[in-house]
């Protein structure tokens, strides 16, 4: 049996997911659906994300992984959907990337997330405000940033 992993963050959701039931990824909170009907499934995912995020269904980003083998041997499609403009905070990003909060904050301050911005100062973060990171920047980092970061590490050691 193959593992079923969240296409966004790579979390193993094999045990948590069941066919035709919407699941929120416990790690990165994208909407996941395992289904035989790709078109209907995509529509369900788009509707779920647009309702939760209050955005147009056309603005939902969807990824379809075809032919996922389930525990009982069925071949289904895994559909993931999210709002690329959703604002994440440092603890969310740390969890998704599997790094410390300090490391996630460092990524913000060093420009690893090009569209990250400082929110308004709060009581707890009165001097600086908190970092607001669009999900699309975290996605881009997952796809490209890790590799360049590793190269830098290689140069340092």
Residue 113 interacts with Zn ion (CB under 5 A): yes or no: no
End-to-end distance of the chain based on CA atoms, in angstroms?
39
Residue 32 interacts with Zn ion (CB under 5 A): yes or no: no
Question: Which of 16, 24, 27, 99 contacts Zn ion by CB under 5 A?
Answer: 27
> What is the closest distance, in whole angstroms, from the C-beta atom of residue 100 to Zn ion in the complex?
19
Residue 9 interacts with Zn ion (CB under 5 A): yes or no: yes
The residues with which 80 forms a beta bridge, in sequence order, are 32, 63
In the bound state with Zn ion, the residue whose beta carbon lies nearer, of 28 and 112, is 28
The residues with which 25 forms a beta bridge, in sequence order, are none
Stretches 8-16, 44-52, 100-108, 110-118: which one binds Zn ion (CB under 5 A)? 8-16
Residue 52 zone, left/alpha/beta (φ > 0; ψ -120 to 50; rest): alpha
Residue 128 zone, left/alpha/beta (φ > 0; ψ -120 to 50; rest): alpha
Residue 6 interacts with Zn ion (CB under 5 A): yes or no: yes
Residue 25 interacts with Zn ion (CB under 5 A): yes or no: yes
The residues with which 133 forms a beta bridge, in sequence order, are 88
Contact residues toward Zn ion (CB under 5 A) are 6, 8-9, 11, 25, 27-28
């Amino acid at each position: 049996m193959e593992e079923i992993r969240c296409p966004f963050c790579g979390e193993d959701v094999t045990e948590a997911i069941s066919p035709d039931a919407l699941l929120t990824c416990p790690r990165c909170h994208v909407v996941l659906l395992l289904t035989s009907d790709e078109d209907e499934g995509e529509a369900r995912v788009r509707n779920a994300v647009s309702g939760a995020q209050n955005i147009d269904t056309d603005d939902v980003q969807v990824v379809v992984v075809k032919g996922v083998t389930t525990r009982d041997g069925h071949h289904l499609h895994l559909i993931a959907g999210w709002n690329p403009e959703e604002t994440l905070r440092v603890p969310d990003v740390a969890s998704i990337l599997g790094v410390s909060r300090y490391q996630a904050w460092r990524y913000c301050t060093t420009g690893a997330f090009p569209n990250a911005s400082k929110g308004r100062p709060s009581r707890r973060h009165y001097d600086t405000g908190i970092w607001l990171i669009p999900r699309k920047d975290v996605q881009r980092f997952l796809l490209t940033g890790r590799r360049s970061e590793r190269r830098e590490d290689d140069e340092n050691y």
